[in-house]
Amino acid sequence: MAIFKSEDTKGKREDLASFISMITRDETPFLSSIGTKKATSVYHEWQTDELAAPAANNKAEGLDFSAADTPSSTTRLGNYSQILVKEIKVSKTLDSVSKAGRNSEFAYQMKKKGTELRRDLEHALVGTRQITSGSGVADAVPDNTGRTMGGVQSWVPKDHVWDASAGTPAFQAAAGGNGATAHTAGTAGTHTLALTDVDEVMQKIYESGGKASVLMMSPSNKRSFSTLAHGTTGTRRNLDEKGSMRQSVELYESDFGVVKVVPNYIQGLASGLDISDGVGGATDVIVYDPSWFAMANLRALHTTDVGQKGDSTVGMIVEETTLECRNPHGSALISGLGVLVA
């Protein structure tokens, strides 16, 4: 007698799990490390000041008031707000049919797009782009690009960029560091990340009045940095009291302060997000103090219920914000690093 098998029957229910696995990373390391404040204009401004350099100060007894010490003015800095948008349009039919892993397709897509927008913001923050005022009203011209904020790299003075692309690392000569000049990511050279690179930029920041507390880098640079703890041959191993082997370096105590070593996957997307797309990529390490930065929100992240459009439900997620850099001299870059970990 023939066996009636499962593939011969009709009406079998599909076995589809009632959850959805999100397989991409959603962290925003730089954004999550800094604070927020309120902006009140599309061009957000703030002021910085600095003390006069120490000098000989020995006056004669009984001298007259001379008013020789001329007060110095503050420096006014600013950054344009950038509008980030994600749009969702879901048909009424799709929101009505039975689905696995979510009840409302529209609600699910809104949540997903919100996460994507935060990743886009992280992309803008750690990227190389400078301040631009945009071309005005949206859709005024076909090539309207909108305003862009200057990312953290555009606020680093050029003489705080430790450039390793030429083989012999050295600080760049120009000053800058006002958000108006895009950082040109260093071309990968032969020099790989070393502790002396970190020490050089930490000293530069210290001498300029800052104190960095974070080294942010691509995943490959993070691996490279961890090898510095045990050498390139990997003969040294760190075992905790439970016998677990620790290979990573999460803190580095330099002569000029302790810094946290943080990987940022977006910095490692150089192949997919090249320099023209505004990301410096895996060749650069950002050295900074989170207390010197803040997101100035003109319009905080919010959803806009556009409502019904034909037989679809339409919504938008919008954020208009910019980066405030309170001390450009409190940050640095290590740029143009070569091939990292084999």
- Residue 117 falls inside a structural domain: yes
Number of domains in the chain: 1
- The per-residue pLDDT string of the chain (342 residues; one tens digit each, 9 = 90 and over) reads 667 556 655 665 565 555 556 667 788 999 999 999 999 999 999 999 988 888 888 888 988 887 677 888 999 999 999 999 999 888 888 777 776 777 788 888 888 899 999 999 999 999 878 888 876 555 444 455 788 999 999 999 989 999 988 778 899 887 666 777 666 655 666 788 889 999 999 999 999 999 999 999 988 888 888 888 665 444 445 655 665 556 678 899 999 999 999 999 998 875 434 333 444 456 789 999 999 999 999 999 998 877 777 788 888 999 999 999 999 999 999 988 875 544
- Residue 14 falls inside a structural domain: no
- Strand-pairing partners, residue 77, are 46
Domain range for 255: 29-46+76-335
- Residue 164 falls inside a structural domain: yes
- Residue 181 falls inside a structural domain: yes
- Residue 247 falls inside a structural domain: yes
- Residue 313 falls inside a structural domain: yes
| Prediction pTM value | 0.83
Residue 17 is encoded by which pair of tokens?
Answer: 């799990």
- Residue 149 falls inside a structural domain: yes
- Residue 9 falls inside a structural domain: no
CA distances from 66 to 52, 69, 70, 71, 247 (A): 18, 8, 10, 13, 63
Q: CATH number of the domain that 260 lies in?
A: 3.90.1690
State the Cα torsion 126-128-132-138 to the nearest 10°.
-70
